[in-house]
């Protein structure tokens, strides 16, 4: 029977030569979480890790499913594991004379920074604080630790608003004329403890708990419960993390960074997480605890002398102030990066000159940094190309594919903070997360401005284009989360003063109100008034190297969804190998031709339609020529007209009158004809190939324009490879009738032009019946392109335009693992795709198969496409690099 609790550190430390005796569950992140696995691993390779134990994720799942209670077996294992800590450090939990204190932290299998709960200094009460003061010889330290514990425990476990405690601290500092926490003495902290206990009693109607075991189980309960907190659910939804995994709990002997000037705490990265530069990056605080750094409570100091000098900071670096501890820390950096073969995010504490490691994990990084690290590590021999390809999140590339601030543009700089997450963002000021989310839902660009962010702000941070904080450093919550999301962030902008009562903020002498526009440069830390213009990115250097590696290792081709020459140029620049979907209906909405389109639709007979189509033919030919010129030599899949005709019709009286004047038909006649074309369910109505069957002259005009343009381009240079796609086919007969029409038109054009071209006719598989009948349809069709947008709608019975009102609830309750219009429903829609692939290839082994819905740019969907053996995916132009990398990762996996 597997254990529920695993110990690490101390007497159970494994020497590197004794690795075979290690229980593999202690290194399994699905069992003990990422933090627990890495603590055990660090202890196992001989690093200074405070002893502790991990309660498994399995216990969290059981706790949440079985009614939030702890089993007798778990309690017995925790008691035994607590004994392991006591024996290692020589202190007893709850001993009034020489107390053991512990931290209680979460630890999911993947990093979720700040999303779940932590409690430090647990085990303090009115008796043990006296013992701590005596054994440490530092009364100030003991009472500071006690007030920290009361505040954190009351907030995390008891649910008392943490602002009440912060206000009490500010009041006592003001009353005594103190500017910083370090000015407060033991008697001041002792008085504040009394204030804090009074706050708890007044809010809860009972005293702050004094039983240390009651404290411990309360903290464990809080960590388990935090897995299902609102902020954790939002983070999981944004990062596709399963709600079924649960979190582990890590209980560890406390080490103290707040024991005077020889003690410190810090957060560090073995490489710069913003740029990828191979240089130590981090922050530290003297006489502080870890939460002071990550929560942005105090603006920390630079870790290295080089970074301090570069920033022009006055406070000493750790390298200068604590050279011995820094040298040891640097050695640990090198050891951990070599061991894990990845950049590490490390938390450490120095207690009276002794270095302790509290955490290591693969660090969050920007897309630019991820690329540089991957390429550099290959050059250093740390990893190979295949690992480098799989190391970079394809979706993170989106950060690199959008404009940056124009260096020549005028800038009205208001202030400068810390460049916490690179990139540029402009938007309206919003001062809280809920307002940011609501504004984003209305399509507004906003910048979230806070004193400091907390995990409860996660939804607003995701909604905002950028984040600005008045406090906090480069490793604060805001900085870490912003980098992970790819949001530009400026932190620690001390000149920013926020007044929530009036919804205004002051920066120096300038006053701004909520709704005013500002611009952030997360690369320089500048905060500017108004909107600053941008320039397109240049994708060279590390980006090009990694993409070249990806192209060598992927099997599937990557095309683009594009319907203009400009789209095609962007797509080719991003490495597209053709057009997988050219939607011709977008061309019809052009203002110069909409009248002819409407004349064609409203015509009473074939002759009238042909007269209007004759006006459209040269325009459509010009459209295709521009696309074929950009894609010369590459395949271009052109979807013939798909949407229902009513979408092109006028609605307002003025539009009818204007059309009447242009085409010479009375308004009453036009309105009658429009009424005749009205449909109650147009998505399943007279659209797609049904238009071609009933009005073949429409598809005939489009085919003629397409083949004439292709011949013209071939005459001048390299020939394109047209692929004519018939949409919404449900039967073999539909496609056979329309293929015959297309072939006849092609033959006529080739005869007129005196040349022939290679072309193909196929269909879009977007109806369940088409997938089921793929074997028959493949007798006619030379290629299938899976239109997974409509296939998802018709399979699930969901309207993409309306489902947003309830899909979040479905995802949150686990009905769908994610939005099926964002990531393919592999169990349902995917089964139809797989079936169509199998039956289509059984009939026509050389049939070309691709996907052209929005799923063509989604890495999880691309992995499925590789699994079922599609030949290509097609994505929007800016997602082509994402698809290239995801296709390589799918092939390698």
Please spell the DSSP secondary structure of 438-491, one letter per residue. HHHHTT--EEEEESS--GGGHHHHHHSSEEEESS--TTSHHHHHHHHHT--EEE
Q: Are strands 5-8 and 52-55 parallel, antiparallel or unpaired?
A: antiparallel
Which residues touch 639 (CB under 8 Å, ≥6 apart)? 581, 582, 583, 584, 725, 727, 764
The CA distance from 536 to 562, in Å, is 19
Reduced to 3 DSSP states, what percent helix, strand and coil does the chain have, rounded to the nearest 5? Answer: 50, 15, 35
The residue written with tokens 């690179």 in the block is 422
Give the chain's largest Cα–Cα span: 102
Q: Which residues of 342-362 are buried (b: 16+ CB within 10 A; e: fewer)?
A: bbbbbbbbbbeeebbbbbbbb
The CA distance from 300 to 140, in Å, is 21
Q: Is-contact 870 559, C-beta < 8 A? A: no
The CA distance from 446 to 466, in Å, is 7
Residue 338 three-state SS? helix
Catalytic residue, from 489, 568, 582, 852: name it. Answer: 852
Q: Is-contact 78 86, C-beta < 8 A? A: no
Distances (CA, A) of 871 to 58, 395, 545, 557, 771: 41, 22, 24, 6, 17
Q: Which two tokens stand for residue 739?
A: 């293929």
The CA distance from 582 to 720, in Å, is 14
Residue 499 three-state SS? strand
Catalytic residue, from 4, 84, 462, 477: name it. Answer: 477
Angle (nearest 5°) at CA 178 between 176 and 183? 110
Q: Are strands 102-107 and 848-851 parallel, antiparallel or unpaired?
A: unpaired
The CA distance from 156 to 165, in Å, is 13
The CA distance from 839 to 836, in Å, is 5
Distances (CA, A) of 595 to 112, 313, 671, 702: 55, 65, 15, 17
Which residue in 846, 782, 796, 784 sits closest to 824, CA to CA? 796
CA 326 to chain centre: 34
Q: Which two tokens stand for residue 272?
A: 């710069």
Which residues touch 446 (CB under 8 Å, ≥6 apart)? 427, 428, 429, 430, 435, 436, 439, 440, 463, 464, 465
The CA distance from 73 to 540, in Å, is 58
Which residues touch 528 (CB under 8 Å, ≥6 apart)? 411, 412, 413, 414, 518, 519, 520, 521
DSSP run (H or E) holding 262: none
Q: Are strands 872-875 and 848-851 parallel, antiparallel or unpaired?
A: parallel
Cα Rg, the chain, nearest whole Å: 32
852 is catalytic: yes
462 is catalytic: no
Which residues touch 548 (CB under 8 Å, ≥6 apart)? none
Residue 187 three-state SS? helix
The CA distance from 101 to 216, in Å, is 10
Q: Which two tokens stand for residue 727?
A: 């949409």
Catalytic residues: 477, 852
């Amino acid at each position: 029977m597997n254990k529920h609790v695993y110990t690490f550190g101390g007497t159970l430390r494994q020497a590197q030569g004794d690795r075979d005796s290690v229980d593999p569950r202690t290194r399994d992140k699905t069992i003990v979480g990422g933090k627990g696995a890495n603590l055990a691993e660090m202890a196992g390779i001989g690093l200074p890790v405070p002893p502790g134990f991990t309660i498994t994720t399995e216990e969290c799942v059981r706790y949440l499913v079985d009614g939030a209670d702890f089993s007798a077996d778990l309690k017995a294992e925790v008691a035994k594991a607590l004994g392991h800590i006591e024996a290692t450090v020589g202190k007893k939990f709850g001993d009034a004379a020489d107390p053991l204190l512990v931290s209680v932290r979460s630890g999911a299998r993947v990093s979720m920074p700040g999303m779940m709960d932590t409690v430090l200094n647990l085990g303090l009460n009115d008796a043990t604080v006296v013992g701590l003061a005596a054994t440490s010889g530092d009364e100030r330290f003991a009472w500071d630790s006690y007030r920290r514990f009361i505040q954190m425990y009351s907030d995390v476990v008891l649910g008392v608003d943490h602002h009440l405690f912060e206000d009490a601290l500010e009041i006592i500092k003001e009353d005594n004329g103190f500017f910083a926490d370090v000015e407060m003495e033991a008697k001041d902290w002792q008085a504040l403890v009394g204030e804090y206990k009074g706050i708890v009693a007044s809010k809860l109607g009972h005293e702050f708990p004094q039983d240390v075991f009651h404290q411990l189980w309360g903290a464990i309960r809080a960590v388990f419960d935090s897995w299902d907190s609102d902020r954790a659910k939002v983070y999981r939804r944004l990062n596709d993390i399963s709600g079924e995994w649960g979190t582990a709990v890590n209980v560890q002997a406390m080490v103290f960074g707040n024991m005077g000037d020889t003690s410190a705490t810090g957060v560090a990265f073995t490489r710069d997480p913003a740029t990828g530069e191979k240089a130590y990056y981090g922050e530290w605080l003297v006489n502080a605890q870890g939460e002071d750094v990550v929560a942005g409570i105090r603006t920390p100091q630079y870790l290295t002398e080089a970074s301090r000098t570069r920033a022009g900071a006055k406070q000493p670096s750790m390298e200068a102030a604590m050279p011995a501890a820094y040298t040891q820390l640097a050695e640990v950096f090198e050891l951990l990066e070599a061991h894990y073969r990845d950049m590490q995010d490390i938390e450490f504490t120095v207690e009276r000159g002794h270095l302790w490691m509290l955490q290591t994990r693969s660090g969050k990084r920007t897309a630019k940094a991820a690329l540089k690290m991957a390429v550099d590590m290959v050059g250093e021999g740390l990893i190979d190309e295949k690992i480098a390809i799989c190391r970079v999140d394809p979706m993170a590339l989106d950060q690199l594919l959008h404009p940056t601030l124009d260096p020549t543009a005028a800038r009205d700089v208001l202030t400068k903070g810390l460049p916490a997450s690179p990139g540029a963002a402009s938007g309206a000021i919003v001062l809280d997360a809920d307002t940011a989310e609501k504004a984003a839902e209305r399509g507004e660009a906003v910048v979230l401005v806070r004193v400091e962010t907390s995990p409860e702000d996660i939804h607003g941070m995701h909604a905002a284009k950028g984040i600005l904080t008045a406090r906090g450093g480069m490793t604060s919550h805001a900085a870490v989360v912003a980098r992970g999301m790819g949001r530009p962030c400026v932190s620690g902008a001390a000149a920013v003063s926020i007044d929530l009562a009036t919804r205004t903020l002051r920066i120096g002498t300038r006053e701004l109100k909520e709704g005013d526009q500002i611009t952030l440069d997360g690369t320089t830390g500048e905060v500017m008034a108004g909107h600053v213009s941008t320039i397109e990115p240049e994708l060279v250097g590390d980006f090009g190297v990694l993409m070249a590696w990806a192209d060598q290792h992927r099997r599937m081709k990557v095309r683009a969804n594009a319907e203009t020459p400009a789209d095609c140029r962007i797509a080719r620049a991003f490495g597209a190998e053709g057009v997988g979907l050219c939607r011709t209906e977008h061309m019809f909405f052009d203002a110069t031709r909409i009248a002819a389109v409407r004349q064609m639709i409203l015509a009473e007979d074939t002759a009238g339609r042909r007269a209007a189509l004759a006006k459209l033919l040269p325009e459509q030919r010009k459209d295709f020529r521009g696309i074929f010129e950009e894609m010369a030599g590459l395949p271009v899949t052109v979807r013939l007209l798909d949407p229902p005709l009513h979408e092109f019709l006028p609605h307002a009286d003025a539009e009818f009158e204007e059309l009447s004047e242009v085409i010479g038909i009375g308004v009453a006649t036009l309105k009658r004809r429009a009424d005749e074309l009205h449909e109650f369910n147009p998505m399943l109505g007279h659209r797609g190939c049904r238009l071609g069957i009933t009005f073949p002259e429409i598809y005939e005009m489009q085919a003629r324009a397409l083949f004439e343009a292709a011949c013209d381009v071939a005459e001048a240079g390299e020939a394109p490879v047209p692929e004519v796609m018939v949409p919404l086919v449900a039967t073999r007969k539909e496609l056979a009738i329309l293929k015959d029409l297309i072939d006849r038109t092609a033959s006529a054009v080739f005869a007129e032009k005196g040349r022939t071209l290679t072309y193909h006719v196929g269909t879009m598989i977007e109806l369940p019946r088409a997938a089921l009948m793929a074997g028959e349809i493949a007798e006619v069709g030379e290629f299938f392109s899976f239109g997974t947008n409509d296939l998802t709608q018709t399979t699930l019975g969901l309207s993409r335009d309306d489902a947003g009102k309830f899909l979040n609830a479905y995802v949150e309750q686990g009905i769908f693992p994610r939005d099926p219009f964002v990531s393919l429903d592999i169990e349902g829609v995917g089964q139809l795709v797989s079936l169509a692939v199998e039956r289509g290839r059984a009939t026509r082994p050389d049939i070309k198969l691709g996907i052209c819905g929005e799923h063509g740019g989604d890495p999880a969907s691309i992995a499925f496409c590789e699994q079922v053996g599609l030949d290509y995916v097609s994505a929007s132009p800016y997602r082509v690099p994402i698809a290239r990398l995801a296709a390589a990762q799918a092939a390698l996996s």
